[in-house]
Amino acid sequence: MEQQSSDPRTIVITGASDGIGAAAARRLAGAGHEVVVVGRSAEKAEAVARPLGARHFSADFARLDDVRRLAQDLRRAVPRIDVLVNNAGGIFDHRELTPDGHERTWQVNHLAPFLLTQLLLDRLTADGAAVVNTSSVAARLGRLRPEDLGDPRGWSPHRAYGDSKLANILFARALARRHGPAAAAFHPGGVATNFASATSTPLRFLYRTPLGRRLMISPERGAETLVWLAEGTPGRDWRSGGYYEKKRPARTNPRAHDDALADALWEHSAERVGLGPSAR
């Protein structure tokens, strides 16, 4: 039985219909927090939310109009947000453009959570909320440079994924520095979930074979740092703008500490999702 929190919070988790998002939702709800489940599939989101007595919403992050609708729905239905967990994401085999004209990995993993956070930013700031971004050790593979943002040359599934996970860390760093909401990014570990289960990249040997899955951790263990960040107090338990693994500060790509790159990424992202100068 979960120990009840003495500081119950309202926690919105995207990508919560499976994997570490669903595991974190169950753990946090069991501790007495009000969890809001967001998933790409309405049916799967409802299946996670119903036993928890939680509200649920659906949005396909490959469609920015879905993200805009989700933000409106959250603003109407959720009076207060204490923590926004940007957890949705994926890795894709082939370079393809979304209906919005962006490379799919970049949009799903970075542009969509960037847009959702921006559309809720006034509420998050007023509520004194924290933002938690699910990143990955793959951020070490990221080679983001300001002049490369949006450049399709040299695309590969691993570089696209690494760039997007580096962007998750840079976004948390810039959010904390520019706008005030406490923010952090974290690596959950190699988790045995349905993530990348359809890929033909070498990751398939981890996610689709018995041996590979035995080398990985459970979604419940993978969710531990997410839960720790969501329940923790910035400035006391964790440092805003930081990157964490196993509930501790972790090393990552040196570019993750480049404030000029973080600012360039912010400007690029705001322009690409159609936000005005006030978001920059």
Which residues form the catalytic set?
A: 161
Q: Write the DSSP assignment of 134-149 as a string of letters.
A: E--GGGGG----GGGT
* CB contact set of 62 (below 8 Å; sequence gap of 6+): 98, 99, 104, 107, 108, 112
Angle at 31 between CA 83 and CA 173, to 5 degrees: 25
Between CA 84 and CA 133 the distance in angstroms is 8
Question: What type of residue sits at position 34?
Answer: E
| 244 backbone dihedrals φ, ψ, rounded to 5° | -130, 150
Nearest residue to 229 (alpha-carbon basis) of 239, 215, 218: 239
- Give the total residue count for the chain: 280
Residues 228 and 247: beta-carbon distance below 8 Å: yes
DSSP state of 114: H
Can you read off the two tokens belonging to residue 130? 């924290």
DSSP state of 10: E
Question: What type of residue sits at position 70?
Answer: L
Q: Write the DSSP assignment of 181-223 as a string of letters.
A: -EEEEEE--SB-SSTTTT--STTHHHHSSHHHHHTSB-HHHHT
